[in-house]
Amino acid sequence: MDKERQEEIDSLQALYYEGDMAVVIPKAQELVRQYQSATAINILALAHKRQGNIDQARQIFEQVLLDNPTNVLFLGNLGNIYIDMGKLDKAEECYVKALEEDPSSIGLSVSLANVYSLTARPSRALKILHQMLSHKDRLTDKDLDDINFKIAEIYRDAGSDFYDKAIEHYSRSRKRLSSTLWLELIYRSKDQETFRYSEEKVLKTGEVNPLLAAVQTHASIRYKIPDRNLFSRDPLSYIKLSKLSPDEGFNDDLVDKLLKSSKDFDARPQELLKHGSQTSGNIFLSSDPAFMTLKTIILRKIEEYRSNFSGSTDGFISNWPNNSELHGWIVDMKDGGFLKPHMHKLGWLSGSLYLSLKKIPGSNSGNIIFDLKGASYPSNSKDFPSIECNITQGDIVMFPSSIFHYTIASEANEGRISLAFDVKPVD
């Protein structure tokens, strides 16, 4: 019986890695009934998560932890789900409990450090990560890539005084975007010759991503050199502004439900946002009917966008990722609120939908501005093109993730609640 049981569990794991969750879920349910197997329970929950039923996955892990409160596997995976749902406090609780049972776990330590970083506690995160690097004999190459990347991100966010440390750790990581982030910091802090030499190294990899495009386009204007980015060399031409209508399923009732449900998400620190708040996690993983409806509406608009530019040979369109996910968050700006210049390095296509917008007639407060100037990139007093979009409630604007953008501060007694989103490549 033990051999038969193990063979069935092994078969279930193989099915899971093949990727057809419609087959995996009933098989996992059957093995849970037969054997109460922890492995089958774990796969059942993760299969629901991969299908987008993250709330179902959460419930499974929470239920089994009532009887197995110290199960490290369940605690870690529930923590990951809480991260995706924007429940950072609960995620931290899971990781801390799991590490009490298994202090040597690399994955759990990295996850806890990530929570500390997301909740503006970088010193705690760095302490964990540097301690892990001091025991390299226990780390795989992937572990080293992940840890060095995370350390580099924290130093990068700490400001220009820490750029050299960030550059050093990016150079030690082979994670996606490591080489581009390395080049970006070199561009920000070194001379033209060093940048051009470093750019050549990255170009040889054939990398195509929005951050690399942003850096190369900026450098082409600043240094008056050819723009060699493979993503989009005329990104401003891909900005598309339109208004959602009741015929598309977007109406006041849906907006009211979205605004009410958005209060269930934890807020996260966002240094770019002044006088406002931003939700954590991915709102499109919510099982709330309002967000599920909105996801369908936005996915339809994205397909219209791609169809509109289907004749383009730019990598942004022609190399559209085969696997992607829609990631969204709510940005709530209060009186005088604004968002500083930034771009979405992990995205491909980005967008913003304006759910609530109080605006004095004739005012441009709250408008979004797109430009190629960059966020704190040295400009050498060069002129960089920009476009201002006059937005109203119900508008949706989509654009390549390589474009820098920011908002004009709202005026007194004005507010602005928007839903920002990215189409993000999935490895």
Q: Provide the greatest CA pair distance for the chain.
A: 76
- pLDDT one-digit tens code per residue, 240-264: 999 999 999 999 999 999 999 888 8
The SS3 assignment for 419 reads strand
More confident residue, 365 or 132: 132
Q: 227 forms bridges with which residues in the sheet?
A: none
Cβ within 8 Å of residue 71, ≥6 positions away: 38, 64, 65
Region 321-335: what's the mean pLDDT? 91
Taking alpha carbons only, the member of 221, 272, 211 closest to residue 400 is 211
Cβ within 8 Å of residue 6, ≥6 positions away: none
Q: Does domain 235-425 fall into CATH 2.60.120.620? A: yes
For the whole prediction, is pTM greater than 0.85? no
Region 83-108: what's the mean pLDDT? 93
What confidence score (pLDDT) does residue 84 get?
87
Region 285-306: what's the mean pLDDT? 94
What confidence score (pLDDT) does residue 269 get?
66
Amino acid identity, position 85: M
Taking alpha carbons only, the member of 398, 399, 403, 396 closest to residue 418 is 396
Percent of the chain with pLDDT over 70: 99
- For the cut 70, the answer to whether the pLDDT of residue 412 exceeds it is no
Region 96-107: what's the mean pLDDT? 94
Averaged pLDDT of the chain:
92
Out of 12-26, 57-71, 277-291, 326-340, give the one with best mean pLDDT: 57-71
Question: At the fourth CATH level, which superfamily is domain 2-149?
Answer: Tetratricopeptide repeat domain (1.25.40.10)
Contact indicator for 417, 331 with CB cutoff of 8 Å: yes
Taking alpha carbons only, the member of 394, 120, 46 closest to residue 248 is 394
What confidence score (pLDDT) does residue 413 get?
64
Sheet arrangement for strand 395-400: 240-243, 395-400, 349-357, 416-425, 324-339, 273-279, 267-268
Residue 108 burial by CB count (10 A; 0-12/13-18/19+): exposed, middle or buried?
buried
Cβ within 8 Å of residue 388, ≥6 positions away: 364, 367, 368, 369, 370
- For the cut 80, the answer to whether the pLDDT of residue 288 exceeds it is yes
Q: 9-13, 153-157, 176-180, 411-415 — which is least confidently predicted?
A: 411-415
The helix or strand, by DSSP H or E, that contains position 42, with its residue range, turns out to be: helix 38-50
Q: Give dist(CA 289, CA 258) in Å, integer.
A: 9
Domain boundaries, the chain: 2-149, 152-223, 235-425
pLDDT band at residue 348 using 50, 70 and 90 as cut-offs: very high
Main-chain phi, psi angles of 134, to 5 degrees = -75, -5
- For the cut 60, the answer to whether the pLDDT of residue 1 exceeds it is no
Cβ count within 10 A of residue 297: 16
Q: How many residues does the chain have?
A: 427
Region 66-89: what's the mean pLDDT? 93
Region 346-370: what's the mean pLDDT? 90
Q: Give dist(CA 364, CA 418) in Å, integer.
A: 16
Tokens 């299969």 found at: 47
The vertex-170 CA angle with 165 and 173, nearest 5°, equals 135
Cβ within 8 Å of residue 390, ≥6 positions away: 364, 367
- pLDDT one-digit tens code per residue, 271-280: 888 888 888 8
Contact indicator for 407, 375 with CB cutoff of 8 Å: no
Q: Give dist(CA 128, CA 111) in Å, integer.
A: 10
Cβ count within 10 A of residue 223: 13
